[in-house]
Amino acid sequence: MLVKEEQQRYQRQMLLPELGAAGQAKLKAAKVLVIGAGGLGCPLLQYLAAAGVGEIGIVDDDVVDLSNLHRQILFNASDIGQPKAAVACEKLKLLNPHLSLISYMQRFDAACAATICSNYHLVVDCSDNFDTRYLVNDTCVALGKTLVFGSILRFEGQVAVFNHNGCVSYRDLYPEPPSEDISCADGGVVGTLPGLIGLYMANETIKLICEIGETLAGKLMSIDLLNNTQYVFSIQADATAASPTLPKTEETLKEIDRTTLASWLETKPGEIFLIDVREAYEHEEYNIGGTHISLYDLSSAINRIPAGRQVVCYCQTGQKSKMAVKLLQPHYEGEVYSLKGGV
């Protein structure tokens, strides 16, 4: 039931006959999980919170970086170095104190995917890499969860709704991951694009919750901001696609603390290869030694890591270094560790 302040807050959208008090009640009762609080997640989260979605979970293991601020408009310069999920919850609570906001400051991986998703009615994928997209899709299919999807690169964005009432899944559109994963860090993105695509995703989420209008279930909307073109395609089911199952739990990545690292560097310095995966300006301001290779450059710089070493990655908080370990593990034969808690 809405309290008086909520009735005043949502008055303008409750005037809509398609939504009304019944739709607002559905929004308040809804539980939505958002994967990623970056370019897409920032505008989407603000509008879902403003609309009165009752419970919002935010999964993101990254921290705010200076390079984020041209498009991730929920954050500002004072947030640099802070966990995105936690900062997002704090700011959304200021926007709307009537919500329940939960931050998951961890990587969305096979170890936690099913457990986290099972607590929510609907999942919104704002991630920026193919591994996560396929994991989110397969988990939603296995659990019977509707998935709102969005992606951005350069000037082009896509929006779709998958697995709603048995409609097609992400694998019907893209059966297998591409050989190369290009993100905004590699290909660039105009700052207004995630704002527009994030709003479309928020709008689809609201329509799905309130059960109004025509959604993008089983369709793909493609928007090119450079040429002002927009298309909507119907997605056909892929009869050859295998039925997704819940992902198997992966081995937990290896972490060490500062005391252990100090001991290793003292007793066997020649066996340790230390990598600072932060940005160059962070390394210049303060570091604990080792080689600087930004997380975003790491995949193309693996040949700079000597064979047979124990690799230790570090960053400001321990979040980017975890991502670096996961990136290196499939390609480096030696042991790879993350510095727990960062520097």
Q: DSSP of 175-197, one letter per residue?
A: SS--SS---HHHH-B-THHHHHH
Residue indicated by tokens 């739990």: 249
Return the active site residues: 184, 315
Q: Rounded to the nearest 5°, which phi and psi values hold at 159?
A: -140, 140
Q: How far, in Å, are 142, 182, 252 from residue 249 at the CA level? A: 15, 26, 9
* 42/27 Cα distance (integer angstroms): 19
How far from each other are the two terminal CA atoms of the chain, in whole angstroms?
47
Element (H, E) at 124: strand 122-125
DSSP 189: B
Contact of 160 with 235, CB cutoff 8 Å: yes
Query: What DSSP element (H or E) covers 32?
Result: strand 31-35
